[in-house]
C-alpha cells in the first residue's frame, strides 16, 4: 500500500476508536473537552517541532495573509467538527456521528469535482445519488434532517479539502491551526477556571490525565491524516475514510447499545450500498490502471 494511503488509513482507524476515549471523560462538557484538545495539541505539536528543529516556516507564513486566512478557516472547521462530534458521543449519538463520516467520502467526491476539477466516473455519481436517497429516507423516518450527520460530513469534507491544497506540511499545518485556536482555547479554559467551573485539577487524577492525553490522542491521527491527504486523490481518501465510521458504528450498536430500528437500518443500508458501489468502481479502475502500468 502506498505510504500516503497507509498513513491515512491508520488515522481513520484511530478516529474510529475515539469514542472509547471520550467516554472516559463524559462527565466533562463537550466544550471543555474541545478546549483541552486544542490546548494540549498545541503543546504536543510544538514539542515535536522543537525536537525536529523546524521553526523556519513561522516567519514567512506570518507575512502571508492568504495562508493565515486559509488556516484560520481550517482551524475553525476543525474546532467546529470536534465540538459537534464530542457532543454527539456524550449525548449518546455515536450512530449519528458514524453516519456523518459514512457520508463524508461521497462529499469528498463532490468537492473534488466542484473545486479540484477531478472527474468522477458515472458509477461514482450513482453512488453519490444512492447515498442522497439514504439521507432522505433517514430524514423522512425521523421527521427531520439528520443534521448532526450532515454537519459532520460537510465540516470535515471542507477541512480535508483545505488541508489537501494548503502550502504547509502536516506538522507545520497542524501547529499553525492549533496556534490560531490557542487564544480561544487558553482564554476559555482560564475563564472557566476563574469561575470555578474548570474540570482540570478539580476532580480525580484520572480525569486530569485523560485531559492531558487529549494532545497526542488528537494530534497523532490529524498528523497522519494531513500527511496522507496531501499524497492521495480525494477519491482515494474517500475510499479509506469509512474505516472510521465502521468502527464507530460497531461501538454504537454493540458497546453502547444505541437504538437501531429497522427503518434506520434501511437508511444505513442505502448508504452502505452507495459505498460498496463506490468501492467496487474504484477497485476496478485501480486494477485496470495497475495492469496498464505493468504492460507499459
b/e string for 252-272 if b means 16 or more Cβ within 10 A?
beeeeebeeeeebeebbebbb
Give CA–CA dist 87/97, Å, rounded: 10
User: What is the pLDDT, as a whole number, of residue 94?
Assistant: 92
pLDDT by residue (tens digit) across 90-147? Answer: 999 998 998 888 888 778 878 888 888 878 788 888 888 888 888 888 888 767 778 9
User: What is the pLDDT, as a whole number, of residue 228?
Assistant: 81
Residues near 123 by beta carbon (within 8 Å), at least 6 away in sequence: 277, 278, 280, 281
Which of 51, 11, 9, 35 lies closest to 223 in space, CA to CA? 11
Which of 174, 171, 149 lies closest to 48 in space, CA to CA? 171
User: What is the pLDDT, as a whole number, of residue 117?
Assistant: 83
Give CA–CA dist 164/159, Å, rounded: 9
Flag whether the pTM goes above 0.85: no
Provide the grid cell at 182.
490557542
Provide the grid cell at 93.
449519538
Q: With 0-12 CB in 10 A as exposed, 13-18 as middle and 19+ as buried, what is 124?
A: buried
Rounded to 5 degrees, what angle do the CA atoms 291, 294, 296 make? 110
Give CA–CA dist 175/177, Å, rounded: 5
pLDDT by residue (tens digit) across 31-59? Answer: 999 999 999 989 888 888 898 888 888 88
Provide the grid cell at 230.
496531501
Rounded to 5 degrees, what angle do the CA atoms 124, 265, 145 make? 75
Q: Is 49 left (phi over 0), alpha (psi -120 to 50) or beta?
A: alpha
Which of 152, 11, 182 lies closest to 77 in space, CA to CA? 152
What are the pLDDT tens digits along the chain (296 aa)? 457 778 888 988 998 999 999 999 988 989 999 999 999 989 888 888 898 888 888 889 888 888 899 899 999 999 999 999 999 999 999 989 988 888 887 788 788 888 888 787 888 888 888 888 888 888 887 677 789 989 999 998 898 888 877 788 778 888 899 899 999 999 999 998 888 888 887 778 888 999 999 888 888 888 887 778 777 776 666 667 778 888 998 899 899 988 888 888 888 888 888 888 887 887 787 778 777 777 77
Give CA–CA dist 271/116, Å, rounded: 24
Provide the grid cell at 267.
437508511
Tally the C-alpha atoms within 13 A of residue 9's C-alpha that lie toward its C-beta. 9
Q: CA 284, 288, 290, 295: dihedral to nearest 10 degrees?
A: 160
How far apart, in Å, do the first and last CA atoms of the chain sit?
Answer: 21
Provide the grid cell at 94.
455515536
Residues near 50 by beta carbon (within 8 Å), at least 6 away in sequence: none
Distance of CA 252 to the CA centre of its chain: 18
Amino acid at each position: 500500500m502506498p505510504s500516503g494511503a497507509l498513513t491515512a488509513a491508520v488515522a481513520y482507524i484511530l478516529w474510529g476508536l475515539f469514542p472509547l476515549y471520550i467516554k472516559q471523560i463524559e462527565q466533562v462538557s463537550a466544550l471543555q473537552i474541545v478546549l483541552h484538545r486544542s490546548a494540549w495539541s498545541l503543546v504536543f505539536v510544538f514539542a515535536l517541532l522543537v525536537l525536529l528543529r523546524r521553526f523556519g516556516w513561522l516567519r514567512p507564513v506570518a507575512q502571508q495573509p492568504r495562508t493565515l486566512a486559509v488556516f484560520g478557516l481550517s482551524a475553525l472547521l476543525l474546532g467546529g467538527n470536534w465540538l459537534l462530534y464530542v457532543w454527539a458521543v456524550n449525548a449518546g449519538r455515536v450512530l449519528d456521528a458514524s453516519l456523518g463520516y459514512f457520508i463524508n467520502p461521497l462529499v469528498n467526491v463532490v468537492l473534488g469535482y466542484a473545486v479540484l476539477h477531478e472527474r468522477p466516473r458515472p458509477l461514482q455519481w450513482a453512488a453519490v445519488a444512492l447515498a442522497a436517497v439514504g439521507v432522505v429516507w433517514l430524514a423522512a423516518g425521523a421527521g427531520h434532517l439528520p443534521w448532526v450527520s450532515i454537519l459532520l460530513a460537510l465540516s470535515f469534507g471542507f477541512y480535508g479539502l483545505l488541508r489537501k491544497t494548503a502550502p504547509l506540511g502536516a506538522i507545520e499545518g497542524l501547529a499553525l491551526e492549533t496556534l490560531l485556536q490557542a487564544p480561544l482555547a487558553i482564554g476559555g479554559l482560564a475563564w472557566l477556571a476563574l469561575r470555578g467551573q474548570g474540570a482540570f485539577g478539580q476532580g480525580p487524577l484520572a480525569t486530569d490525565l485523560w485531559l492531558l492525553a487529549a494532545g497526542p490522542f488528537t494530534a497523532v491521527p490529524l498528523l497522519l491524516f494531513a500527511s496522507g491527504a496531501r499524497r492521495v486523490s480525494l477519491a482515494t481518501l474517500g475510499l479509506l475514510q469509512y474505516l472510521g465510521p465502521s468502527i464507530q458504528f460497531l461501538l454504537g450498536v454493540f458497546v453502547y447499545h444505541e437504538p437501531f430500528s429497522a427503518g434506520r437500518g434501511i437508511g444505513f443500508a442505502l448508504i452502505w450500498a452507495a459505498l460498496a458501489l463506490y468501492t467496487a468502481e474504484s477497485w476496478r479502475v485501480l486494477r485496470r490502471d495497475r495492469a496498464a502500468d505493468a504492460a507499459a
